[in-house]
């Protein structure tokens, strides 16, 4: 009879879990270390080539180039559940975007471009599902956040000389979705994808429309390029994070 009843409620009913305690066994906060190993597949040239950041002043139309780019953004985040299904969090990230350009006229010549930066952000993580319920911090989530990334530009990885004189600031809006699961009592795994919109770049593009050529320096060009790079490289990121339940 009991088994029959289970299968009956299993087949016919479900009641939503209206009220659930925040956190895992009462622990509301968790730390995550997120590697964002995203190849920059979404940058493109006018000729349709991908994986490109234009760090030079060579007009794009005159070269046929581009091969490699990689975006690596280790990020640490701390989240605290303020409700059974909502967490607020802060994150800190170190960002490296690396690329090189191979010139077809001078095939031995590779021009490297490295963007290094640090960033910080705040976000709200909402655990939600259409029918299926979550039990935060486990389950499907969406995250809405704002990141501010300060970047510098280098000609290669080991070079300590910045190509720019002032920090390049990139405020980015992020929308992330994915799933978090607990592997045991403390080990948290997160995987998902995010879409990021660089509002700094939008402002840059807007201001560039009104600028004259006289005021447009190499540094400005580099900065624009970096902004573009960050925007494009970070437009879609895939996330894989491991973390722990804290307190």
Partner 1 sequence: MNFLNKLLLTNFLLLLVSFDSNSQSIEKLEAKGAIPSDLLELPSLTYQKELESISESDSRKVRKEKENFYFNSNFILFDYLTSGKVLFNDPVTNYLNEILTNLLKENHPELLNEIRLYAVKSPVPNAFTTNNGMIFFNIGLLEKLNNEAEIAFILAHEVIHYKNKHVIDGYLESKEIEKGSGDYKKLTVKDQFLTKAKYSRERELEADELGFDIFLNSDYNISDPQNVYDILLTADQITSKTEYDINSLSSSTFVLTDEYFPDEKDLKVFEVSENYEDKEATHPNIKKRKERILSKIENSNIPDQENLYIVGEEKFKQVKMLSHKELVRQYLLNHQYTEAIFKADEFGKLYRDIDSVASQKMFVKALYGLAINHEEMRIQSDLFSIDYQRLYKTLRNIETIDLGLLAISHLIDYEEKYGRDEEIRLLIEDILKNMVYNHTLIKNYITGKSKLIDSKVKLTVGRIHSTEYGEEILEDVKDYIAFMELSTKQKNELYKNNKYKVKNSLIINPFYAKLKGRNKKKLDFEASEDFLVSLSGYIDEAAEPLDFKATVIDVYNLDKNDLEKFNDQALINEWLNEKLNNEEWFGISPIYSEVQPLREKYNTDYFTWIGTLDFKGRMDSPSYGGIVLTALYSVPMSAILLVEKIRPHSKTFYFSITFDLKSGKIVNEDAVYLDLKCNEPLIKSKIHNTFFKLKYGK
Give residues in contact with partner 1 (CB under 8 A).
1-2, 5-6, 9-10, 13-21, 24-26, 129-135, 138-140, 179, 181-185
Question: Of 176, 174, 173, whose CA–CA distance to 141 is shortest?
Answer: 176
For the chain, give the longest Cα–Cα distance: 85
Nearest-approach distance from CB 193 to partner 1, in angstroms: 10
Specify the DSSP element, H or E, that contains 20. Answer: none
Q: What is the DSSP string of 149-171?
A: EEEEEESSTT----S-SSPEEEE
CB of 20 to partner 1, least distance (A): 4
Structure tokens at 26: 């009462």
Nearer to partner 1, 25 or 160 (CB): 25
Cβ 224 to partner 1, closest distance in Å? 28
Q: Write b or e for each residue in 43-61: b if 16 or more Cβ atoms lie within 10 A of its Cβ, otherwise e.
A: bebeeeeebbbbbbeeeee
Smallest gap from residue 131 Cβ to partner 1 (A): 5
d(CA 174, CA 236): 10
Q: In this structure, are strands 29-35 and 75-81 parallel, antiparallel, or unpaired? A: antiparallel
Element (H, E) at 104: none
CA of 220: how far to CAs of 17, 43, 84, in Å? 54, 20, 47
Name the residue nearer to partner 1 (CB basis): 134 or 194. 134
- In the complex, the smallest distance separating the C-beta of residue 215 from partner 1, rounded to whole angstroms, is 38
Q: Identify which of residues 24 and 52 has a Cβ nearer to partner 1 in the complex.
A: 24
Q: Token digits for 65? A: 């180039």
Nearer residue to partner 1 within complex by CB, 10 or 210? 10
CB closer to partner 1, 42 vs 112: 42
Q: Which two tokens stand for residue 82?
A: 């303020």
Closer Cβ to partner 1, 75 or 85, answer by number: 85
CB nearer to partner 1: give 49 or 140: 140
Kindly state the smallest distance separating residue 172's Cβ from partner 1, in Å.
Answer: 22
Alpha-carbon distance of 233 to 41, in angstroms, equals 7
Shortest distance, position 1 Cβ to partner 1, whole Å: 4
């Amino acid at each position: 009879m009991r088994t029959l009843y289970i299968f009956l409620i299993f087949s016919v009913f479900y009641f939503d879990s209206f009220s659930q305690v925040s956190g895992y066994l009462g622990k509301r906060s968790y730390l995550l270390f997120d590697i964002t190993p995203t190849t920059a597949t979404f940058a493109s040239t006018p000729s349709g080539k991908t994986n490109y950041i234009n760090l030079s002043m060579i007009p794009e139309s005159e070269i046929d180039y581009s091969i490699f780019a990689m975006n690596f953004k280790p990020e640490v985040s701390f989240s605290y559940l303020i409700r059974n299904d909502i967490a607020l969090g802060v994150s800190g990230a170190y960002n490296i975007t690396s690329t090189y350009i191979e010139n077809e006229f001078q095939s031995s010549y590779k021009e490297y471009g490295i963007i290094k930066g640090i960033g910080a952000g705040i976000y709200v993580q909402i655990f939600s599902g259409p029918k299926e319920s979550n039990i935060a911090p486990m389950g499907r989530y969406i995250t809405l956040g704002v990141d501010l990334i300060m970047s510098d530009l280098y000609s290669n990885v080991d070079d300590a000389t910045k190509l720019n004189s002032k920090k390049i600031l990139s405020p980015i809006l992020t929308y992330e979705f994915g799933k978090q699961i607990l592997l045991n009592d403390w080990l948290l795994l997160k995987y998902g994808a995010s879409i990021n919109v660089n509002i700094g770049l939008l402002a840059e593009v807007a201001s560039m429309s009104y600028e004259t050529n006289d005021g447009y320096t190499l540094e400005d060009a580099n900065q624009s390029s970096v902004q573009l790079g960050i925007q494009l490289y970070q437009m879609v990121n895939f996330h894989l994070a491991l973390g722990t339940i804290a307190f």
